[in-house]
Amino acid sequence: MNHVPSKDDLLQAHERIKSFVHQTSVMTSASIDAIAGCQIFFKCENFQKIGAFKARGAMNAVLSLSEEQRAKGVATHSSGNHAQALARAAKIMGVPSYIVMPTTAPEIKKKGVRAFGGIITECEPTLAAREATLAKVVAQTGAAEIHPFNNYDVIAGQATAAIELFDAAGELDFVLTPVGGGGLLSGTLLAAKYFSPRTKVIAGEPEGADDTFRSMKSGKIETSQANSVADGLLTSLGDKTFPLIKEMVSGVITVSDKEIIKAMRLIWERVKIIVEPSCAVPLAAVLKDKEKFSGKRIGIILTGGNVDLERAFQLFDSIEK
């Protein structure tokens, strides 16, 4: 799709991916509500296929290609959830997937990609090397590149999480998502615009990767410092996501790593579910600005649950001291 997704594009995306992804549950926690002083509805994308909302966008993008485009396969560079999501979507459609991953990517992520038949090409862990390697792979294979977030079909797919959240939770005053490259945030902004126009969308962002916060101030895409435990949010915005965010977002709240880890622990302990650090950023934002959210009905998209348990324990331990 070469245009900003319309209301109809979002509805079609939802219909298109429905049978390939989970309609994840929405959970609440009386004790978190008491702590936060508001009513929070958690959209549990940690229970999504491949453990993250990325399954939605990748599935929609692959399904939106023509059969001819798709036949030569799909390609991307990613060290994270999008890699698995794309490999899975390609496998479902019976086409090859070519994933460029940095040599530093954890073995478990590579294993996840291979489990879905993804063909991995390794490269140096720099953006330049990743892009160059991907260009080469695409040239060699003729595969269609599916960018992790700077792609309108991906954005339309990510929007479907918010559509389901509005359906399940009813009228919301706010929806919060984390922001990395801005795919989920852009999708959520569009979903709110079309399906719940009175709901304000706010982004949570790590202080050590606050490029969206700075981009909103400067009016141009700033580069992420990429320094946070929220390893899913280290990317900078793209030229498709930034304009949508600039136009529609009601605010960006930045939080420290310590606040993120505390919020993550709260979700583990009170909601009894496993979420990754990036996931906890919106709750950290709500707890940081309690007055703003006091007494409100708030939706939070819990983006994923792909965290190594040992790493999580280390994080919890690190803020005890």
Interface with its own copies by CB under 8 A: which residues? Answer: 25, 27, 46-47, 51, 265, 268-269, 272-275, 305, 309-310, 313, 316
Nearest residue (CB) to its own copies, 265 versus 296? 265
Nearest residue (CB) to its own copies, 193 versus 270? 270
Q: Are 44 and 25 in contact (CB under 8 A)?
A: yes
Q: Least distance from C-beta 61 to its own copies, angstroms?
A: 22
DSSP-based three-state secondary structure for 301: strand
Q: Least distance from C-beta 112 to its own copies, angstroms?
A: 10
Nearest residue (CB) to its own copies, 239 versus 320? 320
126 exposure class (CB count in 10 Å sphere: 0-12, 13-18, 19+) = exposed
Distances (CA, A) of 309 to 157, 273, 305: 29, 12, 10
Nearest residue (CB) to its own copies, 11 versus 27? 27
The amino acid that residue 241 corresponds to is T
Q: Least distance from C-beta 303 to its own copies, angstroms?
A: 12
Q: Least distance from C-beta 25 to its own copies, angstroms?
A: 6
The Cα–Cα gap between 100 and 98 comes to 7
Q: Least distance from C-beta 7 to its own copies, angstroms?
A: 30
List CB contacts of 157: < 8 A, sequence separation 6 or more: 13, 17, 56, 57, 58, 59, 60, 61, 187
Q: Least distance from C-beta 315 to its own copies, angstroms?
A: 11
Q: Least distance from C-beta 141 to its own copies, angstroms?
A: 29
Nearest residue (CB) to its own copies, 137 versus 275? 275
Q: How many CA atoms lie within 13 A of 150 on its CB side?
A: 14
Nearest residue (CB) to its own copies, 47 versus 195? 47
Nearest residue (CB) to its own copies, 24 versus 151? 24
CA nearest neighbour of 52 among 112, 141, 136, 126: 112
Nearest residue (CB) to its own copies, 9 versus 276? 276
The Cα–Cα gap between 282 and 175 comes to 9
Q: Least distance from C-beta 269 to its own copies, angstroms?
A: 7
CA nearest neighbour of 83 among 148, 17, 178: 148
Helices 152-169 and 7-17 sit at what angle, rounded to 10 degrees?
80
Distances (CA, A) of 82 to 56, 86, 92, 98, 100: 10, 6, 15, 12, 11
List CB contacts of 310: < 8 A, sequence separation 6 or more: none
